[in-house]
Amino acid sequence: MEKRLMHAIQYIAYGGGSNALKHVEVPVPSPSKDEVLIKLEAASINPFDWKVQKRMLWPFLPPKFPYIPCTDIAGEVTEVGKGVKKFKPGDKVVGLVSPFSGGGLAEFAVVKESIAASIPPEISAADCAGLPVAGLTALQALSKSIGIKLDGTGERKNILVTAASGGVGHYAVQLAKLGNTYVTATCGARNIEFVKSLGADEVIDYKTPDGAALKSPSGKKYDGVIHCATEYPWSIFEPNLSMNGKVVDITPSSSSMMTFALKKITCSKKQLVPLLLIPKGKDLQYLVDLVKQGKLRTVIDSKFPLTKAEDGWAKSIDGHATGKIIFEF
Ligand SMILES: NC(=O)c1ccc[n+]([C@@H]2O[C@H](COP(=O)([O-])OP(=O)(O)OC[C@H]3O[C@@H](n4cnc5c(N)ncnc54)[C@H](OP(=O)(O)O)[C@@H]3O)[C@@H](O)[C@H]2O)c1
């Protein structure tokens, strides 16, 4: 039987940025035993997606060319694998496509049941499509790495979120405020009011001397830092940390890996820990439920149709998104 075809975006070699994205017709994938096939309504882009294209995850990703990028998708289930129990055709879901198979920037994509979550009727696919990588990273950093209890029952902690206007940062500020925290945040001048509206208690412009030094305006020492910006040496963090302060670096460089090792070996109370996202469906469902309860929102920087996917790709590479860049289908 002839395979059904769908519109997809792919690239065939490393590099080239948005100009290297090609619009193609490829067969609709089939779900394996533990997967669901989703007809996409929305997808979101993360810096991870273009870092793969830039060869920054070589030799692991992509496994081969041609490669259909993007992991974060939301839409309607049209088919389920034989072993799938949680979902049925017609359900709305958000999920994370395996970067090892690729396939998110297409009309249809498959995700494992274990890293998908149900979308209730009152929220849109676009409101959920930003959650998988950025939302789960913020959640993992706050709750697992720093130990913030998001029901507010933990002891009071001072948290710094860097690049709080970005995809991960804007979720991190909102989630941190669900816990018992005082949140300091950094962002550019144009986003200060926006980041305050997310709940940050104090906001610093990263281009000012105090911002560059990550100094809290009220003199707070940070118990935890969700570090979403890049290129800050340990010497900037160290004087701003409380006695047991911990920096969670979500974009660890080789020098931060050295700091991590050094702090471990010397049993330092102040620590820097690298974070690699370990996505779980139940955590994703937790985030979707927070959106439903009005406790978490996805701020959408801009939306692009699949026909203009290269414009969204270029905007993400540019690095100045406020919230999430979304593709709509
Ligand atoms: N470890 C993991 O598993 C994991 C998971 C997710 C993301 N990440 C990484 O985390 C980083 C952030 O991701 P993202 O999705 O949040 O990126 P993003 O949405 O592209 O971030 C863009 C935002 O960051 C702000 N920004 C840039 N440099 C800044 C600085 N020095 N201080 C304050 N704000 C700054 C920009 O503000 P302006 O426009 O004002 O400059 C912009 O609003 C990326 O490197 C990504 O690869 C890692």
Domain holding 159: CATH number? Answer: 3.40.50.720
User: Ligand 1 center to residue 154 CA distance, Å?
Assistant: 27
Report the share of the chain in percent with pLDDT over 70: 100
Same structural domain for residues 117 and 159? Answer: no
Residue 208 or residue 255, greater confidence? 208
| Ligand 1 pocket mutation, candidates 50, 174, 187, 249, criterion most atoms within 8 A of CB | 187
Of the ranges 101-110, 190-199, 243-252, 261-270, which one carries the lowest mean pLDDT score? Answer: 261-270
Same structural domain for residues 140 and 258? Answer: yes
Query: Helical H runs in the chain?
Result: 47-53, 125-129, 136-139, 167-178, 192-197, 209-212, 234-237, 254-265, 281-292, 309-318
Q: What angle do CA 223, 240, 268 make, to 5 degrees?
A: 65
Q: Residue 210 above 70 pLDDT?
A: yes
| Nearest by Cα to 73 from 10, 9, 4, 126 | 126
Query: Helical H runs in 36-143?
Result: 47-53, 125-129, 136-139
What the block records as the tokens of 157 is 């902690």
pLDDT of residue 256: 87
Same structural domain for residues 267 and 188? Answer: yes
Q: Residue 27 above 80 pLDDT?
A: yes
pLDDT average, residue stretch 98-117: 97
Same structural domain for residues 114 and 148? Answer: no
Same structural domain for residues 126 and 140? Answer: no
Domains identified in the chain, total number:
2
The ligand 1 site (C-beta within 6 Å) comprises 46-48, 51, 133-134, 137, 162-163, 165-169, 186-188, 191, 206, 228-230, 250-251, 275-277, 316, 319-322
Going by alpha carbons, the residue nearest to atom 23 of ligand 1 is 166
Residue 121 lies in a domain: yes
CA dihedral 123, 124, 126, 132 (to 10 degrees): 50
pLDDT average, residue stretch 42-56: 97
Q: What is the pLDDT of residues 122-175, one digit of tens each?
A: 999 999 999 999 999 999 999 999 999 999 999 999 999 999 999 999 999 999
CA dist 227 and 252 (Å) reads 10
- CATH code where residue 89 lies: 3.90.180.10
Same structural domain for residues 102 and 153? Answer: no
pTM above 0.85, yes or no: yes
Q: What is the DSSP letter of 179?
A: S
| Nearest by Cα to 96 from 139, 132, 134, 58 | 132
Residue 283 lies in a domain: no
State residue 284 phi and psi, 5-degree precision.
Answer: -65, -40
Q: Residue 248 above 90 pLDDT?
A: yes
Q: Provide the 3-class DSSP secondary structure of residue 143.
A: helix
Going by alpha carbons, the residue nearest to atom 38 of ligand 1 is 320
